[in-house]
Amino acid sequence: MIDVEIQPYLIAGGNSVRMGADKRTLSIHGLPLLHHMITLCEKATGKIPHLVGDNYDNLPLPNLTILPDVEPGCGPMGGLVAALKHASKNEIKWIFVLAVDLPLLQVQDINKLLEAEKSSSEVICLKSRFSLQPLAALYSLTSIEYWHELLEKRHLSLVKGVKELNFQSIFPPSGEQALFNLNTPRDVAIVRSIIEEL
């Protein structure tokens, strides 16, 4: 755990259309995925994450802060802006944003991000060989107006938005598989087979 001035936010309000079932309730690492990711955030940051999204009604989540997306139907961009707006009410320099569907991410990967928080970048995100992962990233509160403007204009690609800023990208120390997204039933089988091999 790294002691930095951040607040973690877990983006976990999607509709799981490709999965055909609520991915947050899938058993991964012996826990429902949502609870595993909450635990991962807490281990890495020392703080319980706030949850962001609009469809938590049927999930038992006592004592957790749940923030609705700023605008429903705008994907992760609505969640990111909600997190930034919430954090702006406190004396926080950075937020750590994490998607719920990255079950192979490790504490060491998050710690690598947190170690970079003293940089002058506006976004610090994990990356694979081929792409950025803007939902495993630190966002500076200085960028809040930029992201709000993109949302208002319905420019909803986080990757494109990150690339227009002063950003830094970091390869996850546990390996590229840490950024494997869980989206379909086939993905679930792949993730469970990888976990068995670990």
Residue 50 to residue 103: CA distance in whole angstroms:
18
Question: What residue numbers bound the domain in which 52 lies?
Answer: 6-197
* Angle ∠(160,100,13) on CA atoms, nearest 5: 80
In contact, 144 and 85? CB cutoff 8 Å: yes
Q: How far apart are CA 9 and CA 87, in angstroms?
A: 10
pTM over 0.85: yes
Decide if 1 is inside a domain: no
pLDDT surpassing 60 at residue 129: yes
Q: DSSP secondary-structure letter at 97?
A: E
Rounded to an integer, the average pLDDT of 68-77 is: 89
Task: Choose among 123, 116, 164, 162: nearest CA to 140.
Answer: 123
Q: How confident is the model at residue 17 (pLDDT cuts 50, 70, 90)?
A: low
Work out how many domains the chain is built from and give that number: 1
Query: Does the residue 170 lie in any domain?
Result: yes
